[in-house]
Structure 1
Amino acid sequence: MDDRYMQFGGQFAVPPSSFQRYHVYSFHHLDDLAFMRFCNEAFSYFPDLQNYLDSIRSLFRNHGWEGDGRIQLFWLPPFVVNSHDTHGIYCFHVKQNNNGTSWIASPIALRFKGLNHLSEEIYP
């Protein structure tokens, strides 16, 4: 795998289709988005950037996102996700423009009150 994918702790050194296994949540409302990077900028050096973005868009649309808003990336430290490594995890976020709904996709189940879990349990 190309070293460019390793910037994010290797989490994205996977085929874009693997995003379809992510857990998806909705939440009303995330308002301070300044700490999140836009995916098209964060992944700008990925040779197959468009395939990654299309897969993430498809994931959100399959769970009710209407397709407006810009997809962002944010990091959760290991102590937040109960991980014993030092990498933490990266999650995707998009805020729907017409009603402010935030959509979040995570590679692991997030156990936070208030998140509306929209995916079937993949990892018990």
Structure 2
Amino acid sequence: MKRNTHDLLSTPWTPFVWCEKDPRDPESEIYRNSRYQVHLRRLKASDGGPDLIYLSYRDKMRIKNELIGPECEGVELLPARSREVDTSNHFHAWIIDDSTFRFPFGFTQRLVTEAALYGARQEP
């Protein structure tokens, strides 16, 4: 399915549909709609805290890199509906203004490839 990425936002949003599992990552669920492919993995808490759901998707990293810097880390809070602030389809991220700070969660090493894997390809 080849798409013109320049027209991505003009493409009507369709519901996410479940995709076949990736044999390299059997614990993730994969979903796709007209705009995005998302990998979802459920993580059990090991410290008595709440379980987590990890989502993997693209685009927002580029905005953070260009405006804040490639070595700063941040989080996007997807709030409960009772705390939602959405006046014009905006997302909200909080970035630590210290390029040496690292959150105590997330990946510990860089892994980036330009190889096409299972129909997905990295943008240049």
TM-score (norm 1): 0.29
- Larger CA Rg, structure 1 vs 2: 2
Return the structure number with greater helix share.
1
Task: Tell which has more relative contact order, 1 or 2 (C-alpha 8 A, sep 6+).
Answer: 1
TM-score (norm 2): 0.29
